[in-house]
Amino acid sequence: MNSNAIARRLDAIQAKGAMRSSDIANVLEVRPETVSRWNQGKAFPHPTTERQLLELEFIVDQLSDFYEPQEARLWIFSRQRLLNGETPAELIQKGRVDEVLAAVHQLRDGVHI
C-alpha cells in the first residue's frame, strides 16, 4: 500500500472509479509517467493540478454511491446530456467542476432532464 497522501488519493480514484494511471493523466493533462511518480512519492503535483486531482477524487467518490467503478469511469469519459453533450473529463480539465458536481447531484437525486 502506498503511504503518501497523493498516492492514497490515486488509489481511491482507481478503486472507486476503475481509472488507470493513464486515465487520470488524461483528465489532469499530464503524462502517465508523472502520475506514476506521484504514486511512488518521487514527485508531487503542481498546486493547480493537485486541486484538479482532489476534485476528481471527490467526483469519483460521489459517483461510487450509485455506480460500480467501471460505470463511473465510463460516465466520466462519455458525453452527458446533463452537461450539454460535454464529457465530465473535459469539464474537469477546463476547471468547470461545479457543473460536473451539479450533474452528479441530479443523478444521485434521480432528477433526469
pLDDT at 64: 96
- Are 68 and 60 in contact by the 8 Å Cβ rule? The answer is no
- The tens place of each residue's pLDDT in the chain, 113 residues long, gives 456 999 999 999 999 999 999 999 999 999 999 999 999 999 999 999 999 999 999 999 999 999 999 999 999 999 999 999 999 999 999 999 999 999 999 998 885 54
- Are 97 and 55 in contact by the 8 Å Cβ rule? The answer is yes
pLDDT at 111: 57
pLDDT at 109: 87
- Are 54 and 3 in contact by the 8 Å Cβ rule? The answer is no
Closest of 82, 73, 68, 71 to residue 112, by C-alpha: 82
pLDDT at 32: 96
Residue 41: which region, alpha, beta or left (left: phi > 0; alpha: psi -120 to 50)?
left
Number of residues written out for the chain: 113
pTM reported for the whole predicted model: 0.91
